[in-house]
Amino acid sequence: MIKKFIFLLSIAGPTFAGTCPDSLESIDGGWKTVFECQGDTLIRSKEIHLKSGNITRKQSYNSEGSITSVDSWNVEGVHTYSGKISYLEDNHFVEETFVTRGPSKGKLISRDEKIGSSEDNTLLKSWVISSSSYKQQAIKHFHNGEDKPYRIDVLSSVGEVLKYYIVKYNKKAPLANLVSEFQAFNPNGEMIGNYNESSEFEVVEHLRKLNLDSKETERRINIYNNTKREPVVIIDTGFDIMHPSLTHKLYNSPHDTPNDGIDNDGNGRIDDSWGWQRQDDAGLSLLIDNRNIRETHSLIHTPYPVSHGTHVASLALRGLESYGLVGFAGDVAISDHLEKANEYISEKNVKFVNMSFAIGYPGAPLSAPRDSFHFLEEMIRSNTETLFVVAAGNGRAALDLDIPGNDNYPASYNFKNMIKVGALNTASLNIADYESYAPASFSKFGNSKVQVFAPGQGVVSAQSGGGTIALNGTSMAAPFVLNTLLKAHELNKRLTTEELKLILMKTVYIPESGRLPCESGGFIQPDKIYEVVELIKENNLSVEEAIKSVMKR
């Protein structure tokens, strides 16, 4: 029998705490407890099962008498369970749980700060600790009696507060834990970001409010007003369309005039000039209108608001003026969302799509419904001239996509019009460091299922609410590749997406130490791609000739 053991020690005061008991041994039923002291201070205790002779518990104490570590075994001597300890700190009652077995022994797995007593208490703060790395990620602060935090501190790996968020929830979707509004602050209390998913918004007006010099303001207004730009579809979590790096990049569709309340192109979406937000269709009337493609922050999977689509879109469109963002925001596991995106891509003849997402594989736990796989596959299969740039996926295990059972869609589809991108362990490319780059530890790979690697670790790009953030992921590597190909395409718009892919594949850098685990065997070299494109344009060379010429140098 395993004796379930949760030890709560509430210390009233220092008077008797940590004092060595009069007798160094006590017997209680079938167990004996042995105490170890240094002078008058109790430092350790051991509980022994008398019948088997096995130790069933070991505890260490600090000078105040608080338990600092607990180890437990069952009577057969098998190390079994975690100990929970508690103590008073600044009149608050702190409860901590540690790992007590295996190589992670002693690591903190939970920490809560409460007010009251061990029997009757209210949670004030709760630490979010990664269950895989045991790193502290965040502290959630609660109002007395409320179960959702109003403030969330972002922690460094050593527990320092890096920044904090004051959050407000979307009351229409209580279960989804959606944050509709937040402000971000640095540790000195200065505001560094301000996000509100439903504040009034008009593009040109907003560009004028950005506090830029008049020349830059006009430049951005002109970019936005250019309805001849090519649409780039980005299917992601959503986009902070008020972010200074994105507002002027929004597509200004010639098909559907924004703000007139009319579905001018008859595609069933009113004013979908720069994309749409799928959440509205799910029966959650969350956002003010169809045009609102803003990032929806759900705190179900992450401890604090995390920017994904905003980061991806800003990377994909960085430095480009002749492309516009058509954002498809929302839950990519919903089949209707994928079906509608497919219709849009076909109808408007969209050439470039970014997919920094994965929906598992059919039948896998937590994967999308089977219909979603059908529409996702259909989208890529039927739009043969569209190039789909896809994140290979992140994971801690099952990283080799070539091994059956490690599937991860869309990355596991094998269509010619896809480029599936793994992440390198770098944020940018510097030719002096080429030999030091390797696939990031979290990146999926595959000699047939992944085509190329690109920077994906510590990549700095736009953050929802304002400013920038460094993120890791193949999600960041895919838009790096798309951005490079768009720049190449901007240099020579006659190039087909197939030719662009060929140029990318044939100009990669293959390390001298060996091929990277992907089809091309290397990572993207933007400069070589641009050289090839320039050569094709200036010397009227074929794609193959230009590649040969550049790669011979």
Q: Give the interface size with Ca ion as a residue count (CB under 5 A).
A: 11
How many angstroms separate the CA atoms of 514 and 517, rounded?
A: 9
Interface region with Ca ion, contact rule CB under 5 A, candidates 122-130, 249-257, 497-505, 514-522: 249-257
Segment contacting Ca ion by CB under 5 A, of 235-243, 255-263, 292-300, 307-315: 255-263
The binding track of 398-417 with respect to Ca ion, each residue x by CB under 5 A or -, is --------------------
- Looking at beta carbons only, is 186 or 264 nearer to Ca ion? 264
Evaluate the omega torsion of the peptide bond into residue 410 and state whether it is cis, within 30 degrees of 0. yes
**Residues 244, 240: Cα–Cα separation, whole Å:** 9
Per CB under 5 A, does 280 bind Ca ion? no
257, 335, 417, 492: residue in contact with Ca ion (rule CB under 5 A): 257
Q: Is the dihedral of CA 21, 23, 28, 32 positive or negative?
A: positive
State the burial class of residue 271 (Cβ atoms within 10 Å of its Cβ: 0-12, 13-18, 19+): buried
Residue 434: count other Cβ atoms within 10 Å of its Cβ.
16
Q: Which of 260, 343, 435, 527 binds Ca ion (CB under 5 A)?
A: 260
Instruction: Return the number of the residue (263 or 402) whose C-beta is nearest Ca ion.
Output: 263
- Per this entry, what is the length of the chain? 553
Per 3-state DSSP, what percentage of the chain is helix, strand, and coil (rounded to 5)?
A: 20, 30, 50
What is the SS3 string spanning 229-270?
Answer: CEEEEEEECCCCCCCCCCHHHECCCCCCCCCCCCCCCCCCCC
Nearer CB in complex with Ca ion: 271/531: 271
The reply to whether 256 sits near Ca ion by the rule CB under 5 A is yes
Tell me the residue nearest to Ca ion as measured from the CB: 256
Do the Cβ atoms of 392 and 450 come closer than 8 Å? yes
| Candidate list 208, 269, 374, 487; residue touching Ca ion; CB under 5 A | 269
CB–CB of 64/87 below 8 Å? yes
The amino acid occupying position 285 is S
CA 485 and chain centroid, separation: 24
Should residue 498 be labelled a site residue for Ca ion when binding is judged by CB under 5 A?
Answer: no
Piece in contact with Ca ion (CB under 5 A), picked from 189-197, 239-247, 265-273, 357-365:
265-273
Nearer CB in complex with Ca ion: 259/384 = 259
Q: At its nearest, how many Å lie between Ca ion and the CB of residue 288?
A: 15
Residues 472-491 close enough to bind Ca ion by CB under 5 A: none
Q: How many whole angstroms separate alpha carbon 143 and alpha carbon 125?
A: 9
Of the candidates 367, 379, 338, the residue with the CA atom closest to the CA atom of residue 236:
338
**Residue 60 engages Ca ion in binding (rule: CB under 5 A):** no
CA distance linking residue 264 with residue 277, whole number of Å = 18
Cα separation of 501 and 506, whole Å?
9
| Closer CB to Ca ion, 46 or 269, in the complex | 269
CB of 161 to Ca ion, least distance (A): 45
Query: Would you count residue 121 as binding Ca ion (CB under 5 A)?
Result: no
List 26, 62, 110, 264, residue binding Ca ion (CB under 5 A): 264
Measure the CA–CA gap between 430 and 94, rounded to whole angstroms. Answer: 48
CB 313 within 8 A of CB 248: no
Closest to Ca ion by CB, 200 or 512: 200
| 271/295 with CB nearer Ca ion | 271
Which span (270-278, 395-403, 467-475, 536-544) binds Ca ion, by CB under 5 A? 270-278
**Smallest distance from Ca ion to CB 347, Å:** 10
CB of 262 to Ca ion, least distance (A): 5
Residues between 301 and 360 that touch Ca ion (CB under 5 A): none
CB of 272 to Ca ion, least distance (A): 4
Distances (CA, A) of 141 to 117, 122, 296, 362: 19, 12, 21, 38
- Binding to Ca ion by residue 82, rule CB under 5 A? no
254 touching Ca ion, by CB under 5 A: no
Of residues 361-400, those binding Ca ion (CB under 5 A): none
One-letter amino acid of 213? D
Question: What is the contact surface with Ca ion in residues (CB under 5 A)?
Answer: 256-257, 260, 262-265, 267, 269, 271-272
